[in-house]
Structure 1
Amino acid sequence: MTVVFPHARLGLALIALAAGVACTGTSPQEPAAAPPAPAEAVVLSKTSQQLAGITVEAVKAEAVGDVLETVGTVALDDTRTARIGALVEGVVSATHANVGDRVRQGALLAGLHSHQVHDGWGDYRKAVADRRRVEQELSYASDALARTERLVADKAASTLELERTRAARAAATEQLAMAQAEVRRATESLEHLGISSNETTAAATEIIPVRTPQAGVVLERLVTTGTAVTPGTPLFVVSDTSSLWVLAEVDEAVLARVKVGAGVQVAVTAYAAERFPATVTLIGDTINAATRRVVVRCRVANGDGRLKPGMFARVQLEGIAPAPMVHVPVDAVQDLGERRVVFVPAADGRYVPREVETGAEREGRVEIRRGLVDGDRVVTRGAFLLKSQLLASPEGE
């Protein structure tokens, strides 16, 4: 289908453009009509092109950066958070920390009274007593061996007696090694409960101390004095909030543009005018089947403590620029039925529609994924008029 749109008079050309109807005939100022154009093309004279405001530009393939914006939640940094639980069955005898307290590493948070303390001390004292007894037996066996060796040298004892005393000393040495191992086991059992095995404090050490393994802020205290606990019962949550996580959800369609180490800007409602710099530290390994999104974990500094775990956040991820691709103004792309086309200039004022595959739109420009290459010339202004002329003309005209 070829549409011929020459110009007769300037006024008539303007009327024809406004009505969207092609004019026929040949202007006396224009040369004779061009040879038949290829199928499905629009033909405009030079004057008509000027009146229609047709603008043709060469396209250029370039990489366009982008900022991905999504939502997220401020969360505790698990690598800086201690969730402290009970090691044994017992009763909380006292608490020494409250929510909001800043504590140092090893600070005493609470005390537990447990029968395992008494059992542990009993095992330790028995092991120490057994070790002392075996040490005495070894000392006696060593003295007996030395005495027997002197007697054998003086021919006052037999070699059989010498072998017997040697065997007794070897047995005592082995028993001492076993006794020392039992003392170490009992000591480690007490240390596991947080109790020193120093016997000078044994009488006063009847309470299992609950201590924090790291410095931070007490965020939760889950027990009070008198609370009965079992192994694993949560007691306290202590976290260093000078560094937090922001867990953002990113659509799988743009996941390839997010990289570990990329910069992030975090905004929260409480400080709407501020942006908190962060860094992507982890990209999730699974996709949420319901939302088709992936969790991206970012680390944000919080030395001043203004960010609070649980806050909702707006997250801007600095996307990685995609591969160079042709972009044209949105108005350059027109819909012809189920096709999307741009108009490409040919010889003698002809404009041929070329089918293209489009991508994302951004700031008035659309991505062309297929149909154009770097350097192609397309109509960037006046494409709608060309489409109108093409659709208004009868088949085969």
Structure 2
Amino acid sequence: MNATSRLFAVTAAAPLLLGLAACRPAPEPAAPAATADAPARSAEVVLLDDTARQRAGLVVTDARTVERADAIDAPGIVALNEARTARIGSLAEGIVVDLRAQVGDRVRPQQVLATMHSHIVYDAWAGYRKAKADERRLQTELRYATDAQARAERLYAAKAVSLQELQRAEANRASAEESLDMGRTEVRRSEEELEHLGITNGEDPSGESGEQIPVRAPFAGVVLERLVTQGTTVTPGTALFVVSDLATVWVLAELDEAHVSGAQVGRPVNVRVAAYPSEVFTGRVTYVGETVNPKTRRITVRCEVPNPEGRLKPEMYATVEIGEAQGRPVVVVPADALQVINNQPAVFVAESDTQFRLRPVQPGPTRDGLVEVRRGLQAGDRVVTSGSFILKSELLKTSDSGE
């Protein structure tokens, strides 16, 4: 091909090449290089500037180590301390004539709660008076017999009486002593009969009071039940009042049989009730049941808990935490630091003032507002407590936009 032909071919192909070049897509612009001070965003990191952090109200706390004993949690119920509860019944047949205590009253030891009219009191007083009169008579007879013996001894020494008369005087004195001992025994018996009826021998039995039996509180406490009204006819054993000292209460925990080895007499317990969610009432195990409930497969554990202010009320539901004797060091964080994201418990760890990383953890039991972290944190790690839910929302928002 000569030079003229080649020039013609190039000239003819030029428009075609220009058309193909026009149809080819333009190259994408190169991404700008990341700056050295901008951290790479990821699905586990939340970035907040100072303004956003203050608006979220973030509070950062160090994870720390505390001494904590393993514990067993069990449902329970507050009950009366039966060792300090009296179910007072009638001691004799009679009629209630006066009520001096109402439900809710705080009573003193031996305070009269009610009085009953009963003819049996007459017989008790008559027996007491007769026993006292016999005692005085026998004391006089003993003094006479003692004087007679002393006189017989002087006369016998002067050979004015026979030995037989002296021996008779000695026998009379010994008999008088024996009779007086028997008389004093009868006085004690009659006093005990009056005391059984709630009457002391120093009370004035004259008039209507001579037929009345006082119903007394055996110890200080609160009247929980009044089971009679004025004019009620009662017989021996009729229930009258229930008085309980609420300074201590029982908490009956229902413990799964698999955990009974952790409940031993003397172990410390922490009790919580819904009425006071932020408070813990401490006590100890006093009894572990001997049998398993065949329906629930649980064992009743009795705990005694001081209740000086009376805030624990019988029949309250409770949560009982039975502690181990020895504690162990555990890492804890405030309970509000814990979040659940994609069904995984996690916390946000502050890597700087503006960068917060999600870290999965294995939580343990929560106690006194602190949750144990068994895996995922070390003491000294800075975790977000207040405001951690805001970080969770920001993280989920970023994940949704990334998809």
> Does TM, scored on the shorter chain, surpass 0.5?
yes
- Equivalent position of 1:286 in the other structure: 291
Mapped to 2, the partners of 1:168 and 1:65 lie a distance apart of 78
- Deviation, 1:264, is 3.1
Mapped to 2, the partners of 1:106 and 1:246 lie a distance apart of 28
Given residue 122 of structure 1, which amino acid in structure 2 is its aligned partner? A
- Deviation, 1:138, is 2.6
- The 1:255/1:151 distance shift into structure 2, 3 A limit, reads closer
- Equivalent position of 2:321 in the other structure: 316
- Equivalent position of 2:218 in the other structure: 213
- Deviation, 1:241, is 1.5
Query: Is the aligned partner of 1:133 residue 2:170?
Result: no
Mapped to 2, the partners of 1:235 and 1:154 lie a distance apart of 71
Contact persistence 1:258–1:320 (CA under 8 A) = no
- Equivalent position of 1:202 in the other structure: 205
- Deviation, 1:242, is 2.5
Greater Cα offset, 101-110 or 279-288: 279-288
Describe the SS at the equivalent of 1:253.
helix
Alignment of 1:348-363 (within 5 A): 363=362
Query: Is the aligned partner of 1:90 residue 2:94?
Result: yes
- Equivalent position of 1:74 in the other structure: 78
Mapped to 1, the partners of 2:147 and 2:321 lie a distance apart of 82
- Equivalent position of 2:358 in the other structure: none
- The 1:138/1:262 distance shift into structure 2, 3 A limit, reads closer
> Can you list the C-alpha shifts for 1:351-376, whole angstroms capped at 9, x where unaligned?
xxxxxxxxxxx9599xxxxxxxxxxx
Describe the SS at the equivalent of 1:164.
helix
Provide structure 2 residue ranges, at least 5 long, that are not aligned to the other structure.
1-67, 328-360, 365-403
Given residue 309 of structure 1, which amino acid in structure 2 is its aligned partner? P
- The 1:315/1:139 distance shift into structure 2, 3 A limit, reads closer
- The 1:167/1:320 distance shift into structure 2, 3 A limit, reads closer
- Deviation, 1:319, is 5.3
- The 1:163/1:70 distance shift into structure 2, 3 A limit, reads closer
Q: CA RMSD in A?
A: 2.9
Given residue 105 of structure 1, which amino acid in structure 2 is its aligned partner? P
Greater Cα offset, 203-212 or 177-186: 203-212
- The 1:243/1:159 distance shift into structure 2, 3 A limit, reads closer
Percent of pairs identical after alignment?
A: 53
Query: Is the aligned partner of 1:179 residue 2:183?
Result: yes
Mapped to 1, the partners of 2:86 and 2:246 lie a distance apart of 12
Mapped to 2, the partners of 1:127 and 1:291 lie a distance apart of 61
- Equivalent position of 1:302 in the other structure: 307
- Which of 154, 163, 166 does residue 162 from structure 1 map onto? 166
Provide structure 1 residue ranges, at least 5 long, that are not aligned to the other structure.
1-63, 323-361, 366-397
- Which of 226, 232, 237 does residue 232 from structure 1 map onto? 237
Given residue 299 of structure 2, which amino acid in structure 1 is its aligned partner? V
- Equivalent position of 1:330 in the other structure: none
Mapped to 1, the partners of 2:174 and 2:268 lie a distance apart of 69
- Which of 268, 276, 296 does residue 271 from structure 1 map onto? 276
- The 1:149/1:245 distance shift into structure 2, 3 A limit, reads closer
- Equivalent position of 1:394 in the other structure: none
Given residue 235 of structure 2, which amino acid in structure 1 is its aligned partner? T
- Deviation, 1:65, is 7.1
Describe the SS at the equivalent of 1:201.
coil
Describe the SS at the equivalent of 1:298.
strand
Mapped to 2, the partners of 1:275 and 1:152 lie a distance apart of 86
Mapped to 1, the partners of 2:72 and 2:318 lie a distance apart of 14
- Deviation, 1:189, is 1.7
Given residue 141 of structure 1, which amino acid in structure 2 is its aligned partner? A
Contact persistence 1:245–1:299 (CA under 8 A) = yes
- Deviation, 1:194, is 2.3
- The 1:169/1:290 distance shift into structure 2, 3 A limit, reads same
Mapped to 2, the partners of 1:69 and 1:153 lie a distance apart of 90
Greater Cα offset, 90-99 or 79-88: 79-88
Contact persistence 1:127–1:182 (CA under 8 A) = yes
Describe the SS at the equivalent of 1:271.
coil
Greater Cα offset, 183-192 or 264-273: 264-273
TM-score normalised by L of structure 2: 0.58
- Equivalent position of 1:254 in the other structure: 259
Mapped to 2, the partners of 1:151 and 1:321 lie a distance apart of 86
Mapped to 2, the partners of 1:320 and 1:167 lie a distance apart of 71
- Deviation, 1:248, is 0.9
Mapped to 1, the partners of 2:319 and 2:156 lie a distance apart of 92
| Higher radius of gyration, 1 or 2 | 2
Mapped to 1, the partners of 2:264 and 2:165 lie a distance apart of 81
> Can you list the C-alpha shifts for 1:15-69, whole angstroms capped at 9, x where unaligned?
xxxxxxxxxxxxxxxxxxxxxxxxxxxxxxxxxxxxxxxxxxxxxxxxx975433
TM-score normalised by L of structure 1: 0.59
Contact persistence 1:257–1:321 (CA under 8 A) = no
- The count of corresponding residues between Structure 1 and Structure 2 is 263
